[in-house]
Copies of this chain bind each other. A is one copy, B any other.
Amino acid sequence: MADLQDGNKLVTLRDVARSVGVNVATASAVLNQTRSGTRVSEKTRTALLAAAQTMGYRPNEVARSLARRRTKLIGFFARFEFLSSRNAFLSELVGGMQEAASLLEYDLVLHTVPEGTPVPRAVATLADRRVDGLLFFAPEEPALLPELRRTGLPIVCVVDHCPGSSSVTADDFGGGARLARHLAEKGHRRVLYRDWHLQVSSVVARREGFQSEARRRGMDVILGERVVNVHAPHFTEAEVALLREERHPVTAVACWEDTTASRTCEVLEGLGFEIPNRMAVTGFNGTQLAELVRYPLTTIRAPWREVGAQSVRRLLALVNDEPIPEWDTLPVEFLPGGTA
């Protein structure tokens, strides 16, 4: 057992109090950042502080959490995904959460349940009172969020908009529209749009933004087959035929996110289309990683780091019953890149 390893038994508040000859309540008042009125004489205060110091007293945050009903922990539930260097988007998001949380003296719990965990079990581990609130990013799990919400746990949805819950997202619609505008301005008349197989709100908004702007400008948008694996975005034969058509060819491929776009560049070059001259490609996300990659994508920089940070601030406001707007949509930025 963990507590046997430290042969030296842990010093408790009671020990410190006893050593000074006062009650634990007094010790508690002194040794914790308790804003309440309890005033203690300078003498006992310093005695207590000194004793705590020399005895090596370390408050037990678990006991404190139980008593206060506050853990100073917030959870992040990200589907069943793990961080990885290939998932730049997720790294940025979590980094932003870390940053904001640390500033607010909160720690971040990465909740990960093995894929396929039944909903009740997932809810049980997420809503077990170990965290004061939850950052939720699993829009394609339809059953989970409502169940979770019923537990009363404060929740903020990130990246995707979840009706009924507070959320922090990027301006996906605006970003999609901006890309369509760019392509239209470059003279493209017909583009293939590569969408994701999961139609979560951010993905849909990007496409709708793109389509609506394209329509305004009379640009033709063909929806390609939906991509399942971002690292292997193959073209169907029908799609290739569209790219090669003589009379009214597709001259640009707009992808719902950057990795797909990068891979698409590779595939297109393999098919003999020089980029950007013979074929334009656009992405979406624009993480800092973009600088290092082979194809400097024409894309939208969505501020995922800031989305993460803001979601933490929102969540803590919620936890503290501060008034907050229903949702935040953070602005995105157009990155010209060199693929369109």
Contact = CB atoms under 8 A, between A and B. Distances in A.
Interface of A: 1-6, 8, 10, 58-63, 65-66, 69-71, 73, 75, 82-92, 94-96, 98-99, 101-103, 107-114, 124-125, 127-130, 132-133, 151-152, 154, 259, 262, 287-289, 292-294, 305, 319, 321
A158 B133 CA distance: 29
Contacts of A92: 83-85
A105 to B, nearest CB: 8
Q: Which of A96, A101, A109 has the most C-beta atoms of chain B within 10 angstroms of its own C-beta?
A: A109
Nearest to A112: B102
Contacts of A113: 102
Contacts of A98: 82-83, 110, 112
A52 to B, nearest CB: 11
7 closest cross-chain pairs (CB), A and B: A6-B152, A85-B88, A61-B128, A102-B112, A83-B95, A82-B95, A85-B287
Q: Which of A62, A65, A70 has the most C-beta atoms of chain B within 10 angstroms of its own C-beta?
A: A62
Contact of A112 (B108, B127, B321): B108
B82 A71 contact: no
Contacts of A112: 98-99, 101-102, 107-108
A85 B128 CA distance: 31
Contacts of A110: 94, 98, 107-110
A1 B82 contact: no
Contacts of A132: 2
Dominant SS among interface residues on chain A: mixed
Given A62-B129, A83-B94, 15 more contacts: A2-B154, A3-B69, A5-B152, A5-B154, A6-B151, A58-B127, A60-B129, A62-B65, A82-B98, A82-B99, A84-B288, A85-B289, A91-B91, A108-B112, A259-B292
A86 B293 contact: no
Nearest to A108: B110
A130 B73 contact: yes
Contacts of A63: 66
Contacts of A73: 109, 130
A289 B291 CA distance: 13
Contacts of A5: 152, 154, 321
Contacts of A111: 107
Contacts of A151: 6, 58
A287 B292 CA distance: 13
Nearest to A94: B83
Nearest to A4: B321
A112 B101 CA distance: 8
Contacts of A1: 69, 321
A10 B152 CA distance: 9
Nearest to A3: B69
A31 to B, nearest CB: 11
A103 B114 contact: yes
Contact of A84 (B102, B128, B305): B305
B58 A128 contact: yes
Nearest to A128: B61
